[in-house]
Amino acid sequence: MQRYFIPSDNWQDHHVTIKGQDAHHLMRVLRSDVGDQVICNDSEGRAAICEINAFANKEVHLKIIEWLEEENELPIHVTIAQGLPKGDKIDFVLQKGTELGAQAFIPFSSQRSVVKWDDKKGKKKHERFSKIVKEASEQSHRNRIPKVHLPMNLTKLIEMGQSFDIKIYAYEEEAKVEKFHSFSTIVRKLKKGQSLLILIGPEGGFAEEEVAMLNKNGFTSVRLGPRILRTETAALYALASISYQFEELGCS
Amino acid sequence: MQRYFIPSDNWQDHHVTIKGQDAHHLMRVLRSDVGDQVICNDSEGRAAICEINAFANKEVHLKIIEWLEEENELPIHVTIAQGLPKGDKIDFVLQKGTELGAQAFIPFSSQRSVVKWDDKKGKKKHERFSKIVKEASEQSHRNRIPKVHLPMNLTKLIEMGQSFDIKIYAYEEEAKVEKFHSFSTIVRKLKKGQSLLILIGPEGGFAEEEVAMLNKNGFTSVRLGPRILRTETAALYALASISYQFEELGCS
């Protein structure tokens, strides 16, 4: 069933109003009729089956039929901080990361970032990113849309990281040494409801001074398996493993 | 260090010859000098540090310096059978699947495949696929290049599946029911060295008759977490989870 995220203002008692692009999608793309049903998610993460009552003035009016008891959110609040990668790889990280359950994304620039965004470009990109995560949330049946932060630098990111329960960074060199920090030792320490910040460097990885700064500020380096992953694959490995541990193995 | 996969014919006692595109890459792209070192992988999965001795006639001659004792291969032999997806998503599955340790890929067509390839197109695509997995293997420090099969239909695939220790298929409906086959129950049954065939349907999933045929032939349906994954994300979830289980959790 088609799913939409509806802002709080558009919920009234037993009714929901769908406006703007979602209304256009429902009317013009899906060519829905009165009586058709969709799932509407509210901003609290709840979802309801709703039935179309009427179309009026580019809006769709729906009646709430049944609140659903579903919970498709990852039990760990994972924020992916992604070093700005080349090309449109960040789109890919946002889309796949949303499907795999990330709660938030922070694009960041660091010493070895090839890509540089000024404030204007950052803001423009940000609008597109919000669209990507909204659509991926609808498609993957998420209960919440992940938050995408405006791009920031590593210093700011480290400062922000202090509010997380656990903070780690993927370090390519970690996969090459015999005595390594396994990702699983971190994952198994996590308790449901805790927050985890995962930093993934850009293509060239982190510089030595950056690694020193991360270590000094309570970030732990981890390897994500023995193979060398591309920057845009690392976040997906981490999220899939956390889902496997908490949602499939069922340990907590 | 740069890594190349060298065919058996180009190994002679203590020497290796790099030819063709790899020689071009080493000479023209990396602008290597005599004395520079690279890693050469043989077709048995072994790797050696080799030093450049000479350049001659568009070939690079190297001396074997040291055999490496590395093992970057997933302990489970995972074959990803991917229902032909739209656009260039198959490229993505091949590249990321190689990074994440798949041993082989089988593109297949089924009832709901939108994309159709005739033999000629299949063969042309196949050449490009082989290039993608070779490059991804070099980049991710694999010991072996995954095999890419020519596209086949579901009947042929099911027949081929009979030689695998365990065979499963990702079924979207499985994520929606309360009593589901968790992927972890399958993964935890696997023993190192066993073979696993994972079928991922195309965008529209499997048709009912196909599901019946899979069940009849010993395939088990699994869910890959509670969210609905796009076809091109499913294989990555499966591979990352298997890596996490066997290479990070360290259970076998």
- B166-181: per-residue pLDDT in tens? 999 998 776 566 566 7
Q: What is the CATH classification number for the domain harbouring A15?
A: 2.40.240.20
pLDDT tens for each residue of B117-150: 888 888 889 999 999 999 999 999 999 999 999 9
Q: Are residues B14 and B111 in the same domain?
A: no
* B184–A250 C-beta distance less than 8 A: yes
Number of domains in chain A: 2
- The verdict on A235 touching B (C-beta cutoff 8 Å) is no
Among B232, B202, B102, which residue's Cα sits nearest to residue A100? Answer: B232
* B96–A236 C-beta distance less than 8 A: yes
pLDDT at A45: 85
Q: Are residues B116 and B209 in the same domain?
A: yes
Selected residues 150-169 of chain B with any CB under 8 Å from a CB in chain A: none
* B96–A227 C-beta distance less than 8 A: no
Q: Which of B99, B140, B244 sits opposite A241 (nearest CB)?
A: B244
pLDDT at B251: 45
* Chain B residues in contact with A183 (beta carbon < 8 A): 244, 248
Tens of pLDDT along chain B (252 residues) come to: 889 999 999 999 899 999 999 999 999 999 999 999 999 999 888 999 999 999 998 999 999 999 998 888 999 999 999 999 988 899 999 999 999 999 999 999 999 888 888 888 888 899 999 999 999 999 999 999 999 999 999 999 999 999 999 999 998 776 566 566 789 999 999 999 999 999 999 988 999 999 999 999 999 999 899 899 999 999 999 999 999 999 998 743
Selected residues 121-140 of chain A with any CB under 8 Å from a CB in chain B: 139-140
pLDDT at B252: 39
pLDDT at A204: 87
Q: What is the CATH classification number for the domain harbouring B213?
A: 3.40.1280.10
pTM: 0.89
Q: Are residues A61 and A81 in the same domain?
A: no
Q: Are residues B99 and B220 in the same domain?
A: yes
- The verdict on A202 touching B (C-beta cutoff 8 Å) is no
pLDDT at A252: 39
**A101 to chain B: closest CA residue:** B227
**What is the extent of the structural domain holding B110?**
77-248
* Chain B residues in contact with A243 (beta carbon < 8 A): 225, 237, 241
**B144 to chain A: closest CA residue:** A227
Residues of chain A with pLDDT under 70: 174-180, 251-252
pLDDT at B60: 96
Among B185, B89, B225, B171, which residue's Cα sits nearest to residue A102? Answer: B225
Picking from B17, B41, B68, the residue at the C-terminal end of a domain is B68
Residues forming beta bridges with residue B16, ordered by sequence position: B11, B62
